[in-house]
Amino acid sequence: MRSWLIAGVAAASLLAGVALAQGLKPGDVGYPYGDLKEITLQGRMVDLAGEMAKKYGARTTGAGPEKQWGFSTPKGELYTFLDNEAYRKLIAGKPAEGGVEVQVRLIPRSHLIEVKSFKPIPASAIHQAFYCAVCNIRTEDWGPCECCGKEMEPVSDAK
Ligand SMILES: [Zn+2]
C-alpha cells in the first residue's frame, strides 16, 4: 500500500549514486565518496550488549546509562550505527518493538551505517528464519546454533 514511497526512496538512492564529483570536495553535498553507498535496509533494532553477551559471550560493560543499539536484517546481517541526530530520533521511541526501514549511508569496508531517515514497518516484513544443517534445528533468531555452536544459516522460505 505504500510501495510508491519505497519506490521513491529507491529512485532517490540511485540518483545520489550517479552524482559525479564535479569540483566537489569531501563534505560537500553530492560528493560521491567512491564506494560509499546509500542503501535502504529493513530489519529490527537489537540491544548489542545483551545480544552479543547472550550469543557470543561478549563482555560489554554497558558503561553508559544508554543501550547501544545495532540493526539486524532478516538474513541475520548485523549493522552498527554512527551516533547522529537521526539515530537519536530512532532510539527515542521504543526501538525494540516491531520492524523498521532505515535509509542509510553504508561506510565502505564496514557494516557501519549513518542513518538519514527511517520509518516503522510491520514485523511480518522482517520475519527471520535460520537453520543448522548439522543439528537439523530451525530458529527465528540469528547467531550460533544452541546445540553445536555453528553459525545458523538464513533460510529463504520464511513466512
Ligand atoms: Zn547445530
Q: Sketch the domain layout of the chain as residue ranges.
A: 3-127, 128-159
Distance 54 CA to ligand 1 centre (A): 16
Q: Which CATH number does the domain 3-127 belong to among 2.40.50, 3.40.720, 1.20.144, 2.40.70?
A: 2.40.50
Residue 27 is classified by DSSP as T
Chain segment 42-72, per-residue pLDDT in tens: 999 999 988 998 999 988 775 666 788 999 9
C-alpha to C-alpha distances, 125 to 81, 89, 99, 119, nearest whole angstrom: 21, 22, 7, 13
Q: Which amino acid is at 51?
A: E
pLDDT in tens, 118-149: 999 998 899 889 999 999 999 999 999 999 99
> Ligand 1 centroid vs 2 CA: distance in angstroms?
39
Of 115, 41, 108, nearest in space to 78 by CA: 41
Write out the three cell numbers for 142: 540469528
Distance CA 126, CA 26 (A): 35
Model pLDDT, residue 38: 92
Residue 138 Cα, ligand 1 centroid: separation in angstroms? 9
Ligand 1 midpoint to CA 156 (Å)? 18
Verdict on whether the full-model pTM lies above 0.95:
no
Per the CB < 8 A criterion, the answer to whether 157 and 150 are in contact is: no
Ligand 1 centroid, distance to 136 Cα (angstroms): 7
Asked if residue 150 has pLDDT above 70, the reply is yes
Distance 26 CA to ligand 1 centre (A): 47
Q: Which amino acid is at 158?
A: A
d(Cα 147, Cα 149) in Å, to the nearest integer?
A: 6
In angstroms, rounded to a whole number, what is the distance separating the alpha carbons of residues 45 and 30? 29
Backbone angles phi, psi at 153, to 5 degrees: -100, 140
State yes or no: pLDDT of 98 exceeds 70. Answer: yes
- What is the predicted pLDDT for the residue at 8? 53
Rounded to the nearest angstrom, the distance between the alpha carbon of 112 and the centre of ligand 1 is 29
